[in-house]
């Protein structure tokens, strides 16, 4: 009887281990979605009206701006995106939204509201070439054997 009980416990422990391993494997493969920045929802965006809403209304509705225009304090930007991370693959941007709010500098009333999404963005290719530097170009053999004879006993810590 005791031997049967031990076998049942081992069998139960083995099954529990298999179930736990399967649960870990399934959750490890699940994609993770993260929000970055201030991704303003449509319901909050609808609350701001051009010509009637003020800078205070925008602050209460959207929060602090992600950026303020460099040469014009009357232009605020709200930038946010949703990114999906899956295992070791490149992250994929699912949604991006850039909101540009412009105010009348005297009254503080919203004069323009623009929304740009991921579809409005443009892809561009980075330049892959290297910038040449001044100096002597070393060949492969010089790089491999250039330091032979350069180090003495003092350099290596000897007397």
Per-residue pLDDT tens for 3-22?
Answer: 677 777 788 878 877 877 66
Residue 57 contacts residue 78 (beta carbons within 8 Å): no
Which pLDDT belongs to residue 119?
Answer: 85
Confidence of residue 53 (pLDDT cuts 50, 70, 90): very high
Q: Which of 36, 119, 110 has its CA nearest to residue 75? A: 110
**Hey, where are the domains in the chain?**
1-30, 31-122
Confidence of residue 65 (pLDDT cuts 50, 70, 90): very high
Phi, psi at 87, each rounded to 5°: 50, -125
47 pLDDT above the threshold of 80: yes
Which pLDDT belongs to residue 55?
Answer: 93
pLDDT single digits (tens) 73-92 = 899 999 999 999 988 888 88
Average pLDDT of the residues of the chain: 82
Please tell me whether the overall predicted TM-score, pTM, comes out greater than 0.85 for this model. Answer: no
């Amino acid at each position: 009887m005791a031997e049967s009980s031990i076998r049942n416990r081992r069998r139960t422990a083995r099954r529990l281990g298999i179930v736990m391993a399967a649960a870990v494997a399934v959750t490890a493969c699940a994609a993770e979605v993260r929000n970055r920045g201030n991704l303003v929802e449509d319901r909050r965006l609808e609350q701001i009206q051009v010509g009637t809403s003020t800078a205070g209304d925008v602050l209460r509705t959207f929060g602090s701006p992600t950026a303020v225009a460099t040469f014009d304090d009357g232009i605020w930007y709200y930038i946010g995106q949703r990114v999906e991370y899956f295992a070791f693959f490149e992250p994929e941007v699912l949604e991006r939204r850039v909101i540009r709010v412009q105010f009348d500098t005297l009254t503080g009333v919203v004069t323009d509201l623009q929304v740009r999404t991921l579809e409005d963005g443009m892809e561009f290719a980075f330049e892959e070439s290297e910038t040449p530097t001044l100096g002597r170009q070393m060949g492969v053999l010089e790089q491999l054997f250039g330091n032979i004879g350069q180090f003495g006993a003092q350099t290596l810590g000897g007397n």
